[in-house]
Structure 1
């Protein structure tokens, strides 16, 4: 059976070189480009034979982690059909266990895997020149390849099960945002380092951290045997545990695929649903899709989003004039952005106008409404903070305070969202109607909105006081306070968010009639 699947895999691989001349030329051109890239990467690895152990470790761990991440993410983004989908073998009556092993083995016969094997071979040769035992280099190469194979198989199987009908430009946009969240901070981090002929200590510390993650543990095994700063046993256990977990997950997915009917591809029929085709088929998912459409098309939301970064940057002007050191001024805008983004949804319900009746008369749970309305602001804020925080820290010049900045920003943002979930259901106030100027404020007797605005703003600052205090100590006294600032900020912010969503959901359910009256009065 294994030989048969391998033979089929070879036939599929060679089949790519058949067809129209234009198709064959494109395939050959792609293979030439891939071969050139592999040769360049292999030469770069081999050139590290005479470098310091730390340099070889940093390059290998970072490059290997990036390659592993690519094998995990590519199947979810590409959206291409899996030629080795286990459901293609369902009619042969093969048991799930042997089928999972056979498909995983056949996955080695592919262009990306051949390139990966070439790279890990170059890395093994390079580490041999650094005095690493041969068996360690070989074990690292084998575990790295197996990890990448299993990650690719798990990604393809997950996409086949959960994303087949939901692949769309909206989902691709979400993946691109996720890539932005990862790539930009890493790029800023690298750009801010001072090399001076040696590997910066920050980079070495970051590689040590990656060596203790599933992404870099296998690649770090040779380095762990020549570096005193790395724990060889910890990296080995993490690498083996990663393979074990991925293997079990892959076996479970194969069993699930063989016992689940393949859903028909209905891209054309669902193409007009947009975000509703991407969001989960739940009440919260429907509200999230509707809210995302509002945020992307209603200029009232766009104005609010654009004003927040501008207002945060303007705060640096009086601080600079007052003589505050520029390094400290650089740390100010990002927490302000986080605070205002958490504050923005405090009157989100009012922007629905009379359309809020859909949520009330459908008997939707208030928690579902509260959760769904927070999705758009998460999609806006997370990339903004992912870009802003590294930039602020690079301008400040000391990456040790990064945890403190993350903790403060997370606390201000999450607690603001939690309190906004209560405010928008409890004290909505009049806003400009759909289609009107975003700067027009209608007059209405009743709630003026002052209570809700003040409650959310001051409340978020009050609950974030511990994280703010730890962060201030980290900046002015000892950077060891950055870690308490991180965990206190994430913990308090998450707790306030959960409580705020629950209380806001209860308030929305109880005040359904009053909310309808408010919407009709507009």
Structure 2
């Protein structure tokens, strides 16, 4: 059964890659990126081999404990990303859960996260090869730790499968993603500040964090070699027994929920809500084709978890910058004042991917003969309706928190210029590249390999062209540091150039769509 499921997983992956060249190229790029991270991690573990036992222990326990916790968190947030061998597909077959478990375990490790975890964990053997006892302990602990990573993720997703598939969770996941991103961003900035203050304080915090991690379920297995290397045989034995008990507990728990799923497959609950006419959305925009597109996409912003995930990503970087700069004694109030500029740059990215989120429903535009310019204008209207107030609030908050009153006009000019230019560029880029996005009822964070490369191209080109077009305004803002009145000129130039680029982007993007509607339909189709 193990060999059968592994062959099935590889066959499904191969068939998916044969569908489109984008899938193959996207997979190769993803593997190259993952390989780079793995090489850096392995090199770091090999370098640790020649340091002190205490440093090896603290770094490895904390790092691999966070890796285990990451498997749990990301499996919940990214539920359904790797369901190539979905257990529910075996519901009609005469097979039991205990027969599927070994094969699903091995097949689940076939992929970038699983292979990377295995390779990096094997490098842990090198880190602990300085002593015979610690090496033997690592040989015992590594398989337990790797199995715990995967079993923890599968147990959590199987136990909460019905809740994870609900719209309530998809809305909650967007909020959790914001918090998770903020913690990472703020933590990274604070870590840099602590590192600048001196190594002794960093070393003390590292040791305390590793000591706490060693007594959590995420660090039990990884702390065994550290305890053995330090001669702490009692704690090593206790943690080893706890790690083994956790592994078997997760195994039997996963078997229980898998058996339930084989007999009671989950049904998707998406796409069953009714849309009421005569609502505020219908009255918000004019009764024109562009207004109709704006009203439809505005509803998506509230009901579609993919858009909620986009708002979450929209807020992570600016909020983390603001909090980290205000929390640090060496923070820059000028950087806080210019934070809205980043939001202005990111706003145009949403237009660039909007068509892809429509999926095959885009045939409505094709069949009704809607003009491409109306499509572009409508999406701009709905995006500004949702993200515009967020941008205004951010400008007001950062102005009062940074208290850089002399920068208000330059910040407004650069922010408005970037926003309008970004929306115009996004209108053009969005008409040029599309990709098959996850369907509305699916996991909002799911990204197929077919869409990874076009999405990367769309993001890169949008960012580069926007930054190039905003250079005149940026130059005036920089010049206002020495010549104050240039800040007012920057505001005028930013608004005027932004309006011009927006009009050109809507017109040229619309012309592209008028010529490419059949190609757009093909590009956004999930099964190609």
TM-score (norm: length of structure 2): 0.48
* Structure with bigger RCO (C-alpha 8 Å, 6+ apart): 2
TM-score (norm: length of structure 1): 0.49
